[in-house]
Homo-oligomer: A and B are copies of this chain.
Amino acid sequence: MTTSVEFFFDFSSPYGYLASNRIERVAERHGRSVIWRPFLVGAAMKVNERKPLARVPLVGDYAVRDVQRFARYWDIPFVIPSHWPVATVNACRAFYLLEETDHDAASRLAHALYHAYFCNDRDISDRETVVAVASELGHDPIQMTEGIQTDEIKQKLRSVNDEALARGVFGSPFIIVDSEPFWGADRLEQVDHCLSHGGW
């Protein structure tokens, strides 16, 4: 049994953002740490012939309402971004660049990127915005700009996406506790239950 909870998410996923505000508290309550696993959920949705929520008639409008209500319910700041969904490849690469040497710095960046997108409506699909968010946390913007364009980081993200697909991770957020999969911010209560009882 690992002592960690794996937290797969797409930076463009509002439900991922909601869960990101709670996942560490839930895990820590049971002596677990969180492994942050940003990935590109688009590939998995393609396999499933699913479209982004925003592009499904009725469901998209409902999701906007649901996510705003959910944020109020959990008392989490949230605004609908001007552009949603967006490509999050730069955000993911920046995360994995930091994660190579410092897991905590990487998770702080993940929080900051989500906050930039879902609280301050900054366009995190833009490389310069991602670098700016990182530099606000003290990271060197030139190193960051170069680092996220290396073949090594591109390959790292590809391998995470491949791993997600291979392990059946098809949505965001997707939380794996030991080998038990949970899809959705609305499953955090059951994640908590699972951690309390050592499984199902």
Contacts and interface: CB of A to CB of B under 8 A. Distances in A.
Contacts of A50: 56, 59
Contacts of A186: 184, 186-187
A170 B73 contact: no
Contacts of A182: 66
Contacts of A61: 168
A132 to B, nearest CB: 34
Interface residues of A, number: 30
Contact of A168 (B49, B62, B168): B62
Contacts of A84: none
Nearest to A66: B183
A1 interface: no
A190 B56 contact: no
A58 B193 CA distance: 24
16 contacts: A48-B56, A48-B57, A48-B59, A49-B56, A58-B168, A58-B170, A59-B171, A62-B181, A66-B182, A66-B183, A69-B190, A70-B190, A73-B190, A73-B193, A184-B186, A186-B187
